[in-house]
Structure 1
Amino acid sequence: MRALGIEEFGGPEVLKVIDRPLPVPGPEQVRVRVTAAGVNPTDLLLRAGDLATAVAGQEPPYVPGMDASGVVDAVGDGVDLAVGEPVMAFVNPFHPTGGAQAEYVVVPREQVVAAPRGLDLRDVAGLPMNGLTAHLALSLLGLPEGATLAVTGAAGALGGYVVQLAKYRGLRVVADAADRDRELIQGLGADVVVPRAADASDLAAAYRAAVPEGADGVVDAAIVGADALGVVKDGGGFVKCRPFELASERDIVVQGVVVMTHPAKRSALEEISALAEKGVLTLRTADVLAPEHAAEAHRRLEAGGVRGRLILAF
C-alpha cells in the first residue's frame, strides 16, 4: 500500500510516498481504507525531528498523521463495526505501525467511530484530532455554564472547534481576531471578538478592555504562552495546546492538553461526530491535495494563516 513516509528528518522535501505492507487487524482492532487524512502541526514537528524521542527505537520511515476518514475494510475479533461502514479515526503516529497518512490504517476499536452522516469524508478527515483536543481542553478547565472562556487562535482549526464546543456547552466565549477573521469568528459563535493586538505583550490589555474582570479560563490554541496569562482572572484556568514550560501566577491553574492521553476517546469521538452531523461543529477544509503534494501542505501550514484543515486524499 502507499503511505507518506519520513525516511530522514528535515524540511518538507524529505516527505516521500513509499510502499508499506498492508496492516492486519488483531483482536479489538479495525482496518480502515483511508479516504483522506488531515495534516496537522504535529506532522511538522515529527518531520523536522523535534519529536525524535517519541519514535526512538523505531526504524524509519515514519508515517505521520493523527486523523483519518474512510470505510471499515476489515475487523479483528470483538469488533462491532461492519465492513464498508464510513468511519473516522484518531491515529497514533508514534506507534510502530505508523500514522494516518496511508491507504490503510489499523487502529484500536476505541479510536474509530461512525462518521457523521451527510458530510464529505474528505472534510471529516479534519475532525478527529482537533475535535478530541478541543474536547479534552474544555474538560480540563471544567468551567460551569455561563463562565467566560477566552480562546486564542480561534480562526484556526483547533480554536474554531473550541469556540463552537464551548458555546454548545453554555459558555460565554471571547476571542481575538485580525480584521479579516472577525466575521469568521463571529460566525463560529464567539460572544465578544477582541481586536488582534499588534504585539503579544499587548494581548492581555486587549482582552481586559473587553472583559475587565478577566476570563475564567483560557484555551491557548495560538500558543501565545506567558503573554496570555494576563487574560485570566486570579485563580482561573489556563490550558496549553503544546508542551512547553509555563510558570503560573496569581494562583492560575496551568495544564497542558495532550490528545494521546484523552481518557475516553471513543465516547468523545462519538459526541464530536454527532455534533458535526447536527451542524454544531462545522468542518472547514482549506484544501485537498494528493499525497505526492504533502510537501506543499507542510510549507503552507508552516507559513501560517491557513483557515481550516489541509487534507491529503488517498
Structure 2
Amino acid sequence: MRAITYSRYGGPDVLELTDQPMPKVGPDSVLVRVRATSVNPVDWKVQAGYLDPVLDIRFPAIPGWDVAGVVEQVGFDTPELSVGDEVYGYVRKDLLQGGTFAEYVAAPVRTLAAKPASLTFEEAAAVPLTGLTAYQTIERSGLREGQTVLVHAAAGGVGSFAVQIAAARGARVIGTASESNHEFVRSLGAEPVTYGEGLAGRVRAIAPDGVDVVLDYVGGDALASTPDVLADGGTAVSIADPAVRELGGIYAWVRPSSEDLTALGTLIDDGKVAVHVAEVFDLADAARAQELSATGHVRGKVVVRV
C-alpha cells in the first residue's frame, strides 16, 4: 500500500510517499480503507520528536490519527462493525508506527464510530481529534445549561467545535479571537472578545459575575487570566498548559472513544455542529498540508484525501 512515512525526526522535509506492507488486523481491530485523514498540530510535534519522552515510536512511521473510510476486513472480536461500514475515528495506538496517512489502517474498534451521514469523507476526517478534544473537555468541566463558558482560541480547530457543542447544550459562550475572526466566532454561537492585554476586563464587561467554566486551548497569558474571570466555584480545563492544576483546574488529554464519536456524530447530523475544512490536499502533498497547518493561521482543518 502507499503511505506517507518518516524514518527520522524532523520537519515536513522528512516525509516521503513510500510502499509499505499491509497492516495486520488484530482480534479487536478492523482494516479501514482510508478515504481521508487530516493534519493536527500534534502530528508535526510528534514527528519533530517533542513527545519522544512519553510516546514509543518505531521507524519508518506513518503519521496521522484522524481517519474517515470504509471497513474492508474485520477482526475475530469486532461485533460492532461489518465490512462495508462507513466509519470515522481517532486512531491513536500505544505504539506510533501505523498511522492514517496511508491507503489502509488497522484501527481498534474502540477508536471508531459510524461516520456522520451528513458529511463527506473529507469533512468527517476533520472531526475526530479536535471534535473529541472539545467534547471531552466540556464533559470534564461539567458545563450545564444556562451557565457561561469562556472558550480560548474560539476560532481554532478545537475551539470552534467547543463553541458549537457548548451552545448546543444551552450555555452562554464567550470566545477569545483576533478581530479578524470575530464574525466567524459569532457565527458559531459565541460572543467574541479580543485576546491580549486587558482580556479580563473585557470578559467582565460582558459577564460581570464571571464565567462558570474556562476552556483553555492555547495556554500562556490566556490561562493566566483565569483567576480574574472565573466565578467562585467555577471550573477551568486546559489542554495546553499543566499550570491549570495550580489554579485548581483540570489538565486534560484527549482519548479515543466510540461513544463520544457517536455523540458528536449525532450533533453534526442534527445540524447543531458544523465542520469547517480549510483546504484539501492529495496524499502525495502531505508535506505541503503539514506546512499549512503549522502556520497556525488556518480557519478549519487541513484535510488529506487518500
The question of whether the paired residues in 1 share the 8 Å contact of 2:277 and 2:300 is answered with yes
Secondary structure class of the residue paired with 2:297: coil
Q: For 1:118 and 1:293, how far apart are their aligned partners in 2? A: 27
Superposed CA deviations along residues 1-22 of structure 1, whole A, max 9, x for unmatched, are 1222221112221122222211
1:256 aligns with 2:251: yes
Larger CA deviation: 235-244 vs 61-70: 235-244
Give the structure 2 partner of residue 273 of structure 1: 265
TM-score normalized by the length of structure 1: 0.90
The question of whether the paired residues in 1 share the 8 Å contact of 2:244 and 2:251 is answered with no
The question of whether the paired residues in 2 share the 8 Å contact of 1:62 and 1:98 is answered with yes
Superposed CA deviations along residues 221-241 of structure 1, whole A, max 9, x for unmatched, are 233453331332233211112
Q: For 1:297 and 1:6, how far apart are their aligned partners in 2? A: 15
Q: 1:94 to 1:307 in 2, by over 3 A?
A: farther
1:221 aligns with 2:188: no
Match of 2:230 among 210, 229, 232: 232
AA partner of residue 62 (structure 1): A
Larger CA deviation: 97-106 vs 70-79: 97-106
Superposed CA deviations along residues 249-300 of structure 1, whole A, max 9, x for unmatched, are 4xxx31122112x6xx111111111211222111110001122222222222
Q: Which runs of 5+ in 2 are unaligned?
A: none
AA partner of residue 5 (structure 2): G
Q: 1:66 to 1:96 in 2, by over 3 A?
A: closer
Measure how far apart 1:96 and its partner are: 4.5
Secondary structure class of the residue paired with 2:246: coil
Secondary structure class of the residue paired with 1:61: strand
Larger CA deviation: 219-228 vs 21-30: 219-228
AA partner of residue 4 (structure 2): L
The question of whether the paired residues in 1 share the 8 Å contact of 2:62 and 2:98 is answered with yes
Q: For 1:94 and 1:62, how far apart are their aligned partners in 2? A: 13
AA partner of residue 256 (structure 1): Y
Give the structure 1 partner of residue 83 of structure 2: 83
The question of whether the paired residues in 2 share the 8 Å contact of 1:93 and 1:100 is answered with no
The question of whether the paired residues in 1 share the 8 Å contact of 2:58 and 2:97 is answered with no
Give the structure 1 partner of residue 283 of structure 2: 291
Q: 1:202 to 1:235 in 2, by over 3 A?
A: same
AA partner of residue 17 (structure 2): V
Secondary structure class of the residue paired with 1:248: helix
AA partner of residue 207 (structure 1): V
AA partner of residue 75 (structure 2): G
Give the structure 2 partner of residue 7 of structure 1: 7
Measure how far apart 1:243 and its partner are: 5.0
AA partner of residue 277 (structure 1): D
Secondary structure class of the residue paired with 1:26: coil
Q: For 1:85 and 1:288, how far apart are their aligned partners in 2? A: 23
Percent identity between matched residues is: 35
Larger CA deviation: 218-227 vs 123-132: 218-227
AA partner of residue 242 (structure 1): A
Q: Cα RMSD over matched residues?
A: 1.8
Q: 1:11 to 1:93 in 2, by over 3 A?
A: farther
Larger CA deviation: 15-24 vs 304-313: 15-24
1:306 aligns with 2:298: yes
- What pairs with 1:94-173 in structure 2 (closer than 5 Å)? 94-173=94-173
Measure how far apart 1:193 and its partner are: 1.9
Measure how far apart 1:93 and its partner are: 5.4
The question of whether the paired residues in 2 share the 8 Å contact of 1:63 and 1:93 is answered with no
Larger CA deviation: 233-242 vs 83-92: 233-242
The question of whether the paired residues in 2 share the 8 Å contact of 1:92 and 1:98 is answered with no
Q: Which runs of 4+ in 1 moved over 4 A?
A: none
User: How many residues get paired?
Assistant: 303
Q: For 2:72 and 2:233, how far apart are their aligned partners in 1? A: 49
Q: For 2:270 and 2:144, how far apart are their aligned partners in 1? A: 23
Secondary structure class of the residue paired with 1:32: strand
TM-score normalized by the length of structure 2: 0.93
Q: For 2:65 and 2:38, how far apart are their aligned partners in 1? A: 7
Q: Which runs of 5+ in 1 are unaligned?
A: none
Q: 1:247 to 1:26 in 2, by over 3 A?
A: closer
Larger CA deviation: 225-234 vs 127-136: 225-234
Q: For 1:206 and 1:15, how far apart are their aligned partners in 2? A: 44
The question of whether the paired residues in 1 share the 8 Å contact of 2:34 and 2:103 is answered with yes
Q: For 2:65 and 2:55, how far apart are their aligned partners in 1? A: 14
Measure how far apart 1:60 and its partner are: 1.0
Secondary structure class of the residue paired with 1:281: coil
